[in-house]
Structure 1
């Protein structure tokens, strides 16, 4: 929710409606409040907080179980507060056992999220498309989902729980095991099943056919790329593209930094000329200075507006303009 705006319906309620109406719901990944706002401005009805992107953006570290619940929940809270659309967030392993999962769900719901996914990796975990993953046993995985479901029911039954299993690509893993776990986790309270890392279309087709509930698909890493029409024909409910904005940001920042290094400060002027024609080229407007001035006009004394007279720099528009 942005500054001064009314509270809409609960994020989980909105997310459930979007999943019903738009399947497949396409949800790009963000890694902080700024990237979430860019995605919202581009017209996406929901956004996804990438665990990989959060770890790299906040800590400069890989997604290898190094970020804490406090850090991750803080990022989720800031993202949810910055946008009006519902946010789905990576919750890793729940940051411990079933008891830790209870607190994780509590923190995520109170952060204003629409949903989260919980995985069955051993802690510390690692990115689902990096080798060397291990998973907990079936009993522990199911117990953690039961704990997540019970907590969700007590606080916000509309909050969406996505049951993720990494057993397909884990050490000694198989697709048969992943499908068994996906169904068991759905039965334990998950709303959607997330089988991480199917390696080809044949495996995706098996997942969609044999999983007894809505499928959540991660189109990244080794997973095959598909069109919206292909996903709809398979019955996929939600597809995330978690790291694309992060990678785009890394590439753009690096390329500009190299240009400044090689050409000097004039490269920044060249960049500004390109930015001027971009839909988000006016950074001051995008940041929300017009909204700040509108709030000033609504709630501060009229003489407050005098500070804009005879000054230099960007002048926010008045509410009546």
Structure 2
């Protein structure tokens, strides 16, 4: 029997190396992450909101919309997929349904944060958080709802901005007691703060979240591993790079009426291979109907 995505993620968490996990926002970005050779992918709520709604990460995505995107992404790759599921879309009972849906989709892990709903991107201003007790209970509900699926529950706290680092660390300890497998303290603002987080949780798998231009210093994976972090997310790297490249391409097309001299295209043949055209051409031949004369 094949090992589940959740169990594959758990095995990777036991390895000595830090997990470098890019953010994905659609099936194509997920396929590129897999092709390049990463071991895990993670959906970006910021990226999905931008790509599917054209809106900022301000809690506009419904649970149905999020799962529609996340489910298709999970089906498009063979990598374990971690899903950013915001606040869990309600109270502890809503979290239980959210987690059961995540298990049915075959997700490897979920991120649940303690912001008030509607939430915001973790690197935006004016965030607000629910009580420590309420989110700890939501984590307990998530652990119960996953049953024997081994789904990895990642507890995220956004308390650093509104309440300070010490409050965020205290919340993290309660979320681990509640049963979270991994702790994610969002948006520490200096290397010293990252070191304090690592020192406070010497035996807990920790997440660092590197957003280019965000509040957390842009340290390398090796630097973060040395501090004691187990996972480093780069949630927006692909989205920001694609946006810049596409803008340059379209700007040239608008100015010159041609893309003949644009330098950054992938070859059409390579793109066909990425999305599986040769495989489907073969299947088309295999199941083609051969015309016969039945008269």
The answer to whether the aligner puts 1:84 opposite 2:78 as a matched pair is yes
The answer to whether the aligner puts 1:159 opposite 2:147 as a matched pair is no
1:93 alignment partner, one of 75, 79, 87: 87
Tell me by how many angstroms 1:16 deviates.
1.1
Aligned twin of 1:127: 121
Aligned twin of 2:62: 68
**Equivalent residues of 2:13, 2:205 under 8 A apart:** no
| Deviation sequence 1:89-145 (CA, Å, 0-9, x none) | 101000111111111111112122110110000001100000010000111111111
**Equivalent residues of 1:63, 1:127 under 8 A apart:** yes
Tell me by how many angstroms 1:202 deviates.
0.9
Tell me by how many angstroms 1:219 deviates.
1.3
2-structure distance, mates of 1:26, 1:223 = 16
2:240 alignment partner, one of 237, 240, 247: 247
1:286 alignment partner, one of 255, 274, 281: 274
2:104 alignment partner, one of 107, 110, 113: 110
2-structure distance, mates of 1:281, 1:275 = 11
Q: Which moved more, 1:9-18 or 1:60-69?
A: 9-18
| Deviation sequence 1:279-305 (CA, Å, 0-9, x none) | x8622222111111333455x25749x
Q: TM-score, normalised by structure 1?
A: 0.85
2-structure distance, mates of 1:97, 1:134 = 16
Aligned twin of 1:258: 251
Tell me by how many angstroms 1:22 deviates.
5.1
Unaligned residue ranges in structure 2 (runs of 5+) = none
1-structure distance, mates of 2:26, 2:264 = 24
Aligned twin of 1:18: 12
2-structure distance, mates of 1:32, 1:149 = 27
Which runs of at least 4 in structure 1 moved beyond 4 Å after TM superposition?
A: none
Tell me by how many angstroms 1:74 deviates.
1.0
Tell me by how many angstroms 1:274 deviates.
4.9
After superposition, where does 1:118-197 map in structure 2 within 5 Å? 118-152=112-146, 154=147, 156=149, 158-170=150-162, 173-197=163-187
1-structure distance, mates of 2:4, 2:161 = 35
Tell me by how many angstroms 1:228 deviates.
2.5
**Equivalent residues of 1:275, 1:281 under 8 A apart:** no
Aligned twin of 1:213: 204
Aligned twin of 1:309: none
2-structure distance, mates of 1:73, 1:22 = 32
| Deviation sequence 1:235-282 (CA, Å, 0-9, x none) | 111110001111111111111111000000x22x334x7536x6x862
**Equivalent residues of 1:23, 1:236 under 8 A apart:** no
Aligned twin of 2:52: 58
Query: With CA pairs under 8 Å and 6+ residues apart, which has the higher RCO, 1 or 2?
Result: 2
When the two chains are superposed, the root-mean-square deviation of aligned CA atoms in Å is 1.8
2-structure distance, mates of 1:30, 1:289 = 22
1:231 alignment partner, one of 219, 224, 230: 224
Q: Which moved more, 1:47-56 or 1:208-217?
A: 208-217
Tell me by how many angstroms 1:9 deviates.
2.1
